[in-house]
């Protein structure tokens, strides 16, 4: 893996170079092993939280971990194109628009002892902007090369705060073209429901049950690229104990192993149908 500037990353993409890099400000990673008509994203995988923010933050390290999406990059790490955040959403949320990306409160609890200075906010917003410059360059290249593209937008969610049964996998589709892409969305839902998980964990999948796909990553790509489908795929946190902060690596590995096969199969079906 190399450390590259935003400009170098974009140039590599435009030149169709194969590379793996961390952004020079260490805010995200990107890997391109092969140019294919699909990509995987894990915008909430990051846990970094820069030191100058520590004393002013009212949330604990556990509070932050609880709301992040740990291991979502790991679940898709074997795929040819992966882009993933490294910073905690508590510094800036890549799945929110720039004007709302820096939290004042989070899940009903005030985040900062005192308001952040503008200079600190700008550091974070610059990283947010750079990430989306790269996303734009990446999807532009994939649409140019293949005509169409599908993006697997991986997230996870805390299920113990729900008072009803919730699905193992949830697809949020309220901001994509369901008339055009409805059959391939349903195919993805069905494929997820057939994943075999250890420890007696059932695989269930629903569309717009717990979340509706209102994230900025999906909206940004959808608004800028008419031939790219973003599948906001939420995994119930069956792969950890969200209260005790214990990871279950055998469950993470099972999801990763299933997606090794399912994502390429689904992406190929998407390409055959829409290219």
Report DSSP letters for 53-107, one per residue. GTTTB-S-HHHHHHHS-TTHHHHHTTSSEEEEE-B-TTT--TTS-GGGSS-SEET
Give pLDDT, residue 63: 94
Q: What is the mean pLDDT of residues 58-67?
A: 94
Q: What is the pTM of this model?
A: 0.96
What percentage of residues in the chain have a pLDDT greater than 90?
Answer: 96
Nearest-CA neighbor of 166 among 179, 156, 154? 156
Quick one: tokens of 33? 């092993």
Mean pLDDT for the stretch of residues 152-173: 95
Q: What is the pLDDT of residue 145?
A: 98
User: What homologous superfamily is domain 2-274 in, according to CATH?
Assistant: Zn-dependent exopeptidases (3.40.630.40)
Average pLDDT over residues 248-260: 98
Q: Write out pLDDT tens, residues 130-151.
A: 999 999 999 999 999 999 999 9
Indicate whether 161 pLDDT > 90. Answer: no
Q: What φ, ψ does residue 186 adopt, rounded to 5°? A: -65, -35
pLDDT score for 109? 83
Write the pLDDT tens digit of every residue in 182-217.
999 999 999 999 999 999 999 999 999 999 999 999
Q: Give the CA radius of gyration of the chain.
A: 18
How far is 245 from 23, CA to CA, in rounded Å? 28
Say if residue 28's pLDDT is above 90.
yes
pLDDT of 106 strictly over 90: no
Q: Which residues of 108-136 are buried (b: 16+ CB within 10 A; e: fewer)?
A: eeebbeeebeeebeebbbebbebbbebbb
Please report which confidence band the pLDDT of residue 108 belongs to, taking 50, 70 and 90 as the band edges.
confident
* Averaged confidence pLDDT in the chain: 97
Q: Does the pLDDT of residue 40 top 90, yes or no?
A: yes
C-alpha triplet 206, 204, 190: angle, nearest 5°: 65
Which band of pLDDT confidence, cut at 50, 70 and 90, is reported for residue 251?
very high
Q: Is the pLDDT of residue 97 over 90?
A: yes
Residue 248 has pLDDT above 90, yes or no: yes
Nearest to 123 by CA among 25, 3, 220, 215: 25
Q: Which among 154, 161, 163 has a CA at the least distance from the CA of 242?
A: 161
């Amino acid at each position: 893996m190399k450390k590259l500037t935003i400009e170098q990353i974009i140039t590599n993409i435009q030149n169709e170079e194969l590379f793996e890099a961390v952004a020079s400000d260490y805010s995200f990673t990107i890997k391109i092993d092969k140019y294919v008509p699909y990509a995987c994203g894990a915008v909430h995988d990051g846990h970094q939280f820069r030191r100058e923010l520590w004393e002013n933050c009212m949330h604990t390290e556990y509070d932050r971990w609880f709301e992040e999406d740990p291991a979502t990059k790991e679940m898709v790490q074997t795929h040819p194109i992966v882009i993933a955040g490294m910073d905690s959403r508590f510094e800036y949320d890549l799945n929110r628009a720039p004007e709302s990306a820096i939290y004042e409160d989070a899940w009903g609890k005030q985040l900062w002892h005192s308001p952040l200075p503008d200079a600190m906010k700008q550091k974070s917003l610059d990283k947010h902007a750079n990430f989306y410059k790269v996303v734009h360059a990446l999807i532009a290249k994939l649409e140019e090369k293949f005509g169409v593209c599908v993006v697997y937008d991986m997230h996870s969610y805390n299920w113990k705060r729900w008072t009803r049964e919730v699905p193992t996998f949830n697809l949020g589709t309220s901001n994509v073209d369901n008339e055009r892409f409805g059959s391939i969305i349903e195919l993805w839902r069905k494929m997820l429901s057939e994943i075999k998980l250890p420890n007696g964990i059932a695989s269930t999948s629903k569309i717009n049950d717990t979340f509706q796909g209102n994230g900025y990553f999906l909206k940004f790509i959808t608004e800028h690229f008419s031939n790219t489908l973003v599948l906001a795929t939420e995994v119930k946190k069956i792969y950890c104990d969200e209260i005790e902060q214990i990871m279950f690596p055998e469950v993470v590995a099972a999801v990763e192993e299933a997606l090794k096969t399912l994502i390429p199969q689904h992406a190929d079906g998407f390409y055959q149908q829409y290219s």
